[in-house]
């Protein structure tokens, strides 16, 4: 028995190390695929170790659950469009959160099978705290992710939902939930546990509804972090080191991504979480003043002519490119430009898209080589030598007001210096303001040419004009 416990603990340790290596592999695209395989092996080891342990007496239910769940998972993974990755990840987070609640609930209702009872037949105090916290964070992750999913999927408006006293209500609910965690240590009645879970569900829902659509990169990262902390909480309850280590890894990963996203927007984490900023571009635009200064407007033929005769072009993609599904047409356009001897590279702002790294995946899907795609700090100095900056579906991240106008809401946000290029070609549907509700000064510059139209159709017309 002693020997078996040691072997089991060692197997979980191996699984935890493999998970660390899986993340480590992501330091470069070449090693990433091997890393993912290590993650799968780690998971297989963890699951096999548990299944072979003496606690598992019957396999039928487990097999049925794995087959159904696995089939659904594989089906979703093979069908999902790359543009829909943010909502997929949000949806997956909700499942981890709910699973954490269910496991905590199972441990609570049957503590004996998890070895959580003391000699008096009560649940250990430490285990109560751990399972209560695990269930609480899991429930917040679940309902918060569901809201994030419905906003990203467009099932509800991305506009922030705010009402008077919102923050007070959230604070009250949060304090009440923590109070219940404390009370659970004295009284282990079912109503305490389940009321805590119910409160946490409501709290997760209320926390995410005030956050606008374009702040979703932060929200998705934050929920990623929560799902990790929930898993770690359950790991403490179950005395399972693989779960504790994995929860800690995932928790810190999500926290770092949230930090990177906030920094790229020059906003504090709390101002994002408290919400109420911006929303759908249409909603934001209606509040902005109408600007009737003249802009220079161009056609697809003009754009084709300018780019074909340029020495170098830098492409700046944004969420609008994803919405219009223009990435494939864009890559074909770039191929033609390269044939004409033009040097082309891509510049990605950290918050382009609806989740961290979203644009990179879309470009990779369109067969763009990853060594042509650069992050902001690596390419920003090159705009001054570029002949053309081709902005497609991005807006606020190119607004020079962030550098020059202290009154602007986006002042201080790091932006791509596209205005330094000789010519800026700006693909846009109309003159509406960006997500932040601010007019982009770039539109009125002498070296800017606006290309009005749907991103995909515009790129296709340019492609035809280049041929």
92 or 426: CB nearest other proteins: 92
Work out which of 7, 115, 271, 384 binds other proteins, going by CB under 8 A.
115
Check binding of 85 to other proteins (CB under 8 A): yes
Round to whole Å and give the CA distance between 320 and 333: 17
Check binding of 119 to other proteins (CB under 8 A): no
55 or 289: CB nearest other proteins: 55
247 or 298: CB nearest other proteins: 247
Side by side, the strands of the sheet bearing 373-375 are: 373-375, 343-348, 312-317, 388-392, 423-428, 448-452
Shortest distance in whole angstroms from residue 57 CB to other proteins: 5
Check binding of 15 to other proteins (CB under 8 A): yes
Among candidate residues 280, 358, 317, 332, the one with its CA nearest the CA of residue 81:
358
Check binding of 427 to other proteins (CB under 8 A): no
396 tagged catalytic: yes
CA atoms 322, 373, 92, 145: torsion sign = negative
Choices 37-45, 192-200, 273-281, 418-426 (CB under 8 A): range interacting with other proteins: 37-45
Round to whole Å and give the CA distance between 41 and 36: 9
First to last CA, the chain: 74
243 or 272: CB nearest other proteins: 243
The CA angle 50-56-58, to the nearest 5 degrees, is 135
Check binding of 232 to other proteins (CB under 8 A): yes
Round to whole Å and give the CA distance between 122 and 367: 59
Check binding of 237 to other proteins (CB under 8 A): yes
7 or 68: CB nearest other proteins: 68
Check binding of 70 to other proteins (CB under 8 A): yes
78 or 120: CB nearest other proteins: 78
267 phi-psi bin (left φ>0, alpha ψ -120 to 50, beta other): beta
Element (H, E) at 34: helix 29-52
Work out which of 211, 234, 386, 449 binds other proteins, going by CB under 8 A.
234
Among candidate residues 271, 217, 279, the one with its CA nearest the CA of residue 433:
279
Residue 142 token pair: 């679940």
Work out which of 7, 10, 26, 172 binds other proteins, going by CB under 8 A.
26
Shortest distance in whole angstroms from residue 243 CB to other proteins: 6
Q: In the window 324-383, what residues touch other proteins (CB under 8 A)?
A: 348, 350, 355-358, 360-361, 364-365, 367, 369-373, 375
Q: In the window 171-230, what residues touch other proteins (CB under 8 A)?
A: 220-221, 224, 227-228, 230
Catalytic residue among 187, 301, 335, 396: 396
Check binding of 271 to other proteins (CB under 8 A): no
Whose structure tokens read 């035809």? 464
Choices 13-21, 176-184, 205-213, 289-297 (CB under 8 A): range interacting with other proteins: 13-21
Spatial contact of 52 and 86, defined as CB atoms under 8 Å apart: no
CA atoms 174, 262, 454, 85: torsion sign = negative
372 or 405: CB nearest other proteins: 372
Check binding of 24 to other proteins (CB under 8 A): yes
Round to whole Å and give the CA distance between 101 and 112: 18
Parallel, antiparallel, or unpaired: how do β-strands 448-452 and 423-428 relate? parallel
Choices 113-121, 275-283, 310-318, 439-447 (CB under 8 A): range interacting with other proteins: 113-121
Residue 179 token pair: 């109070």
Q: Which residues are catalytic?
A: 396
């Amino acid at each position: 028995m002693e020997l078996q416990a040691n072997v089991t603990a060692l197997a979980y340790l191996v699984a935890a190390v493999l998970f660390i290596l899986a993340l480590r592999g992501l330091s470069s695209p070449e090693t990433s695929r091997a890393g993912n395989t290590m993650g799968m092996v780690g998971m297989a080891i963890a699951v096999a170790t548990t299944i072979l342990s003496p606690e598992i007496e019957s396999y039928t239910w487990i097999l049925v659950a794995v087959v159904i769940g696995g089939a659904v998972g594989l089906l979703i993974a093979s069908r999902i469009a790359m543009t829909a990755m943010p909502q997929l990840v949000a949806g997956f987070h909700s499942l981890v959160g709910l699973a954490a609640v269910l496991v905590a609930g199972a441990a609570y209702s049957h503590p004996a099978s998890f070895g959580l009872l003391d000699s008096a037949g009560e649940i250990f105090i430490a285990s109560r705290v751990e399972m209560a916290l695990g269930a609480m964070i899991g429930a917040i992750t679940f309902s918060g992710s569901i809201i994030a999913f419905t906003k990203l999927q467009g099932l509800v408006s991305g506009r922030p939902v705010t009402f008077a006293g919102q923050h007070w209500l959230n604070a009250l609910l949060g304090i009440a939930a923590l109070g219940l965690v404390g009370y659970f240590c004295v009284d282990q009645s079912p109503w305490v546990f389940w009321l805590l879970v119910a409160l946490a569900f409501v709290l997760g829902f209320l926390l995410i509804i005030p956050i606008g659509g374009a702040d979703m990169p932060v929200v998705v990262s934050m929920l990623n972090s929560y799902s990790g902390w929930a898993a770690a909480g359950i790991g403490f309850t179950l005395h399972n080191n693989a779960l504790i280590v994995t929860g800690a890894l995932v928790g810190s990963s999500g926290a770092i991504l949230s930090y990177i996203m906030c920094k790229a927007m020059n906003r504090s984490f709390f101002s994002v979480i408290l919400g109420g900023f911006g929303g759908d571009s249409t909603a934001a635009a209606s509040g902005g003043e109408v600007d009737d200064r003249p802009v220079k407007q161009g056609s697809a033929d003009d754009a084709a002519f300018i780019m074909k005769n340029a020495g170098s072009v830098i492409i700046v993609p944004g969420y609008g490119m994803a919405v219009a599904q223009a990435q494939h047409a864009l890559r074909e356009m770039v191929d033609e430009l390269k044939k004409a001897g033009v040097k082309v590279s891509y510049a990605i702002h950290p918050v382009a898209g609806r989740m961290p790294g979203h644009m990179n995946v879309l470009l990779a899907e369109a067969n763009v080589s990853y060594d042509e795609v650069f992050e902001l700090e690596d390419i920003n100095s090159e705009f001054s030598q570029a002949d053309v900056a081709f902005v497609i579906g991005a807006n606020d991240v190119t607004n020079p007001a962030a550098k020059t106008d202290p009154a602007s809401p986006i002042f201080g946000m790091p932006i791509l210096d596209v205005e330094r290029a000789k010519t800026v070609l700006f693909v846009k549907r109309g003159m509406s303001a960006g997500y932040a509700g601010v007019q982009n000064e770039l539109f009125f510059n002498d070296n800017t040419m606006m290309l009005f139209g749907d991103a995909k159709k515009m790129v296709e017309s340019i492609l035809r004009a280049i041929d």
